Amino acid sequence: MIVQQNVSLKPYNTFGLNENAGFLAIVTSIDDLDEIYQTGRFRSQKKMILGGGSNVLFTRGFTGVVGKNEIRGIEIQRETKEDVLVAVGAGENWHQFVLWCVERGYGGVENLSLIPGTVGAAPMQNIGAYGVELKEVFHSLEAYEISSGKTISFFREDCKFGYRYSIFKGELRDEYVITKVFFKLSKQPVFNTSYGAIQDTLEKMEVKKFSLQNVSQAVINIRQSKLPDPLDIGNAGSFFKNPVIEKLHFEALSAQFAQIVSYPVDEEKVKVPAGWLIEQAGWKGFRDGEVGVHDRQALVLVNHGNGRGRDLLKLSKEIQKSVQSTFGIDLEREVNVV
Ligand code: FAD
Ligand code: EPU
């Protein structure tokens, strides 16, 4: 296993935060995980696992061992006329895996095109976009139990998936390293174009017949027009989750803010876009030195170059306070603070 000492994490997180790791270990196998977690070498060190670093906020250096997940491999396990079960190493790049599926005609992940990061982190927050969530194609996963070194299987019900949530982000946080994910994909795909922007984009692309390729391309086009590329400006996508509030609360807000947007959740609750709330509270395009709020998507906090994680965290708390005092709504962080 390659281990480097005292390494800058700047190339390993999409905020581009220049914090150091005591050790950076490149994990390519279960043996490497054993070396980090079970042998004496790193016993006294703190440990964390990192994928593509696209959903973490480093607020200080990490004095211990950062294990960068590079466990690879994509393998078809089972195939019928209707579907296919695919096992994917947790360190595979998510978008490359989506393209692999699209090329072969395996449907289910095309709406999740261009989400940064690794396959292993995808179940962590049940990634979602454009009307689809990971849980819809998820079959099971294998995870390394840190306390015992054993590999444990988790099926869909075990993961307790919710909106940007799984058991690995909740009660089992820091207890497992996801090493392999199994997906059930359809060989007779049903296209999900319910998200208005996809239909509009397909029309603009003059698509006559839906295919996995053109749905994926439509999603890529929308994302590129809406979300800043971390290569241009440091960010981690949505900083907060979209809050779910009581309908009664929403009705009271609508009387005051006629333009407020919402999506139905159930009989009693609605989801409100955090980007709208943050923009209305006056933060869109805000800049304080090296950190700020994106000028086209207020849900995205940005590092203009030499920002610090602690300044982003401070800004995020000011935004939370301001949204609470304007709308009486608590914004919950989506990003993982280290
Ligand atoms: P990391 O940032 O490396 O890790 C995230 C967390 O998971 C950390 O706590 C880490 O310790 C833990 N972790 C990572 N790998 C493992 C593992 N193998 N086992 C256990 N724990 C692990 N997300 C969406 O859901 N939808 C979007 O549309 C979306 N758009 C985005 C757009 C941009 C421009 C960016 C920068 C981010 C976006 N995200 C989106 C967020 C991010 O891409 C996802 O959360 C992604 O799954 C993170 O993967 P990662 O490998 O980078 O995880
Ligand atoms: N909006 C504003 N001002 C803004 C930003 C948004 O008014 O500055 C309004 C938009 O006009 C729109 C609504 O908010 O009416 C929703 O905006 P958008 O379609 O851009 O999506 P979002 O709710 O901000 C969510 C996810 C994204 C995902 C997209 C597409 C969350 C927290 N975010 O964003 O996921 O890609 O929908 O499905 O659910 C992520 O998790 O990191 C992420 C990028």
pLDDT of residue 84: 98
Domain match, 79 and 220 both: yes
- Among 196, 226, 256, give the residue marking a domain's end: 226
- For the question of residue 238 being annotated catalytic, the response is yes
- For the question of residue 8 being annotated catalytic, the response is no
CB of 124 closer than 8 Å to CB of 143: no
Testing ligand 1's pocket by substitution, the residue of 33, 54, 297 carrying the most ligand atoms inside 8 A of its CB is: 54
284 CA closest ligand 2 atom index? 8
pLDDT of residue 16: 98
Domain match, 203 and 250 both: no
* % of residues, the chain, pLDDT over 90: 96
Q: List the CATH number of the domain containing 43.
A: 3.30.43.10
- Among 38, 69, 100, give the residue marking a domain's end: 69
Q: Which of 19, 142, 164, 316 is catalytic?
A: 164
Count Cβ atoms below 10 Å from residue 166 Cβ, excluding itself.
24
Domain match, 142 and 81 both: yes
Cα atoms found within 13 Å of the Cα of residue 144, Cβ hemisphere only:
23
Pocket, ligand 1, Cβ cutoff 6 A: 14, 48-56, 69, 90, 115-118, 120-122, 124-125, 127-129, 168, 177-178, 227, 230, 235-237, 336
Q: Are strands 20-27 and 62-69 parallel, antiparallel or unpaired?
A: parallel
- Measured distance CA(233)–CA(304) in Å, rounded: 6
Instruction: Specify the residue for token string 């004095």.
Output: 63
Testing ligand 2's pocket by substitution, the residue of 136, 276, 316, 332 carrying the most ligand atoms inside 8 A of its CB is: 276
Domain match, 152 and 209 both: yes
Domain match, 176 and 264 both: no
Structure tokens at 192: 């999900």
Q: CB within 8 A of 148, min separation 6: which ones?
A: none
* % of residues, the chain, pLDDT over 70: 100
Q: Is the pLDDT of residue 40 over 90?
A: no
Domain housing 261: 234-337
pLDDT of residue 175: 98
Average pLDDT, the chain: 97
Domain match, 18 and 162 both: no
Q: List the CATH number of the domain containing 259.
A: 3.90.78.10
- For the question of residue 164 being annotated catalytic, the response is yes
- Among 50, 69, 88, give the residue marking a domain's end: 69
pLDDT of residue 122: 98
Q: Is the pLDDT of residue 196 over 80?
A: no
Q: How far is the CA of 180 from the centre of ligand 1 (A)?
A: 15
Query: What is the residue type of 174?
Result: D
Domain match, 179 and 216 both: yes
Average pLDDT score over residue span 140-156: 98
Average pLDDT score over residue span 277-302: 98
pLDDT of residue 289: 97
One-character DSSP codes across 20-70: EEEEEEEE-SHHHHHHHHTSGGGTTS-EEEESSSSSEE--S-EEEEEEEE-
Q: Is the pLDDT of residue 99 over 80?
A: yes
Domain match, 265 and 185 both: no
Domain match, 104 and 184 both: yes
Domain match, 100 and 219 both: yes
Query: What own/partner pairs with CB < 8 Å and gap ≥ 24 does 165-173 have?
Result: 165/125, 165/126, 166/123, 166/124, 166/125, 166/126, 168/123, 168/124, 168/143, 169/124, 169/125, 169/336
Ligand sitting nearest the alpha carbon of 112: 1
pLDDT of residue 195: 85
Average pLDDT score over residue span 236-261: 96
Average pLDDT score over residue span 11-27: 98
Distance, C-alpha 258 to centroid of its chain: 32
CA distances, 116 to each of 43, 98, 322, 327, 330 (Å): 32, 11, 29, 31, 27
Query: What is the residue type of 167?
Result: I
Average pLDDT score over residue span 15-36: 97
Instruction: Specify the residue for token string 């692309």.
Output: 205
Quote the pTM value: 0.97
- Measured distance CA(259)–CA(123) in Å, rounded: 34
Average pLDDT score over residue span 19-25: 97
Give me the helices (H) in 186-306, please. 196-204, 212-226, 247-256, 274-280
Domain match, 287 and 204 both: no
> Which is higher by pLDDT, 209 or 148?
148
pLDDT of residue 219: 97
Q: List the CATH number of the domain containing 87.
A: 3.30.465.10
Domain match, 62 and 86 both: no
DSSP 110: G
Q: Which of 35, 92, 133, 334 is catalytic?
A: 334
Please count the structural domains in the chain: 3
333 pLDDT band, cuts 50/70/90, is very high
pLDDT of residue 194: 84
Average pLDDT score over residue span 71-83: 97
